[in-house]
A and B are shown apart, each in its own frame.
Chain A
């Protein structure tokens, strides 16, 4: 019973972080129809920004916004310099469909390489604002700590903010219209190019939060090759795919489903299935619904 509760709590916290990463991937997909494999690399870079801020100001609450702003800026820069060129240069020809995938993979390698060059490959540490020691119930320790509570709250608040932004504001309407039909958006006066950059920045900021919390929820140490970030890369991506790529709510559901199922598999079947479990979950879900849980049948292009 106690173990079951712990499994659920671990799954939900992990899932919340995956949701955030999946949200970043969905935001980019919706604004430029590109699956950004470099998203985890950008999140890693933002976490290093956060780390630098932490070194200077010694406060997580300064580090977090620094990471977010840094992540947003990097994302905007990549969209401006790189994606626009990519769309212009390789939107035709036999590899048009795979060129963006390959290009963002290259970007992932480039970002990781640059990070290793600047900060080195060794672990650096990031400490959370509150303790990660679990709450106690009687003589047992729950797998749920103040830090995990904070993680959940942050994710919920961010997701609510994003939802309000998307559903209730003009910016949100521009973002959605540009995603569904860039041409009609343009004819209605939306500056679609700017909106795309904005979509990327939002994604960069979400990824930064995911990176920061993924790190402090782990053992606090991270490096370009750390397992936390491989996990973030793969899980955020799988969560986005499970959720169907098109909606924020899909990203949240995808993240939670993935987090919970992986947590149960690790607890009750085998802990060495760490990396293969997400793959099997993805395969099963895509076998039932090839377009994801909340996906549209044919992906729209344009």
Chain B
């Protein structure tokens, strides 16, 4: 059970956003995808969850072809995507946002168990179940977005910049939670991050994207140690 991406190429109109990208994400590991603005990180993730179309290549998860499938189908194969910018629906309450994540699941008992599990991971959400999501703080919204994704009982979690616009202390908390999801719950995670250092610190392996191409791959430690990566992305 791995995520395998092979020779993936994605175009935005005439612009080539991702070209000939190949990598694998082993089960139960946290993979950080880092790179500058416009490197194609978000596009890559959106394509894996079915929101964007690809031009060439393959991407499979559990023998399921992720390309040419609709997002609503892909989520049923155990792939949950938390899109960029605190992806919650502000007009709905916290509990409705959570229930939305499990809306396609037939087994309502299991869904209720998932809800209990999510409120265990994020007790703050449990205290605010009946509040509207737009009354939450930035960090709480990000927790809700992840919580909603967990309600779909994913095996592969795609996270797009969860640290964006959050206070450093909150970022640390969120990163710790993401690490725990892999370690304790055995989830496979792809974490796209601008905050390269923070992401590599919790990751098992890292992929550096540059202008739509894979620049470097390796274990997280080796990337942190790589002088070129340090200079270009870690800032020291």
Contacts and interface: CB of A to CB of B under 8 A. Distances in A.
- In their complex, do chains A and B touch, with some C-beta pair under 8 Å? yes
Interface of A: 170, 173-174, 176-177, 180-181, 183-192
Interface in B73-120: 75-76, 80-81, 83, 87-92, 96, 99-101, 103-104
A182 B72 CA distance: 11
Given A173-B103, A183-B51, A189 B91 contact: no
> 8 closest A-B pairs (Cβ-Cβ)?
A189-B104, A186-B71, A189-B75, A188-B100, A180-B91, A180-B89, A181-B89, A189-B72
A264 B50 CA distance: 55
B99 to A, nearest CB: 6
A225 B88 CA distance: 47
Nearest to B158: A187
Interface SS of chain A: helix
Interface string B44-56: 0000011100000
A187 B87 contact: yes
Contacts of B76: 189
Contacts of A186: 50-51, 70-72
Interface residues of B, number: 27
A184 B96 CA distance: 13
Interface SS of chain B: loop
A181 B149 CA distance: 15
B148 interface: yes
Contacts of B70: 186
Given A184-B89, A187-B75, A173 B51 contact: no
Contacts of B91: 176, 180
B152 interface: yes
A174 B104 CA distance: 10
Contacts of B50: 186
A72 to B, nearest CB: 23
Contacts of B148: 184, 188
A292 to B, nearest CB: 16
A190 B100 contact: yes
B103 A174 contact: yes
B152 A189 contact: yes
A184 B72 contact: no
Contacts of B81: 187
